[in-house]
Amino acid sequence: MAWLTPDGVNADLDAAYRYVNALPAARKERTGVIGFCWGGGTVWRYASANPKLKAAVVCYGPLADTALLKTVKAPVLGVYGENDMRVNASTPDIQRILGAQGTPFSSDSYPGTGHGFLKPGRKGAGTPEAARALSNIDAFFAQQLEKK
């Protein structure tokens, strides 16, 4: 990952976006993204770069620069571990900035969990809170990506 550049990652994600939207079974232009930890930070960057996204889920992903938020158009769901203040500290700024521009943002901090809690072996993995987070992710995607 050390050799990856933000522009290169976005180019790869653009290629994946085009591929998925070209599949016969795909709901054209009803595409969302999800990322965990480093991938969650990547979701912020990609949601900023691709205005066609219809949903973005950031699972305990750090936001590198609040300036990225200015071009995020897709509704965003933030999934955070209660004991992950390194990442959670930016949540109020995210809420304020996205709210001011009318971009939907909802987030939850799951009690008794830490960074990476959806990964087996991490604090909070396999608990009812992790199950609730997964259920919330499914519901968010279902709501945002349904045919309109």
- Using CA atoms, how far apart are residues 105 and 98, in angstroms rounded to an integer? 7
What percent of the chain has a predicted confidence (pLDDT) above 70? 99
pLDDT surpassing 70 at residue 147: no
What pLDDT does 29 receive?
A: 84
Report, as an integer, the average pLDDT of 100-106.
97
Task: Check: CB of residue 41 under 8 Å from CB of residue 63.
Answer: yes
* pTM of the entire predicted model: 0.95
Provide the percentage of residues in the chain whose pLDDT is more than 90. 94
Taking residues 99-123, report their average pLDDT.
97
> Is 63 in contact with 53 (CB distance < 8 Å)?
no
Q: Where are the chain's structural domains?
A: 8-16+29-145
Kindly report, residue by residue over 51-93, the tens digit of the pLDDT. 999 999 999 999 999 999 999 999 999 999 999 999 999 999 9
By the 10 Å C-beta count (0-12 exposed, 13-18 middle, 19+ buried), 23 is classed as exposed
pLDDT digits (tens, 9 = 90+) for 25-40: 998 889 999 999 999 9
Domain 8-16+29-145 has CATH 3.40.50.1820: yes
Mean pLDDT for the stretch of residues 108-125: 96
Burial of 61: CB neighbours in 10 Å, binned 0-12, 13-18, 19+: buried
Query: Has residue 148 got a pLDDT over 90?
Result: no
Compute φ and ψ for 77, nearest 5 degrees: -110, 125
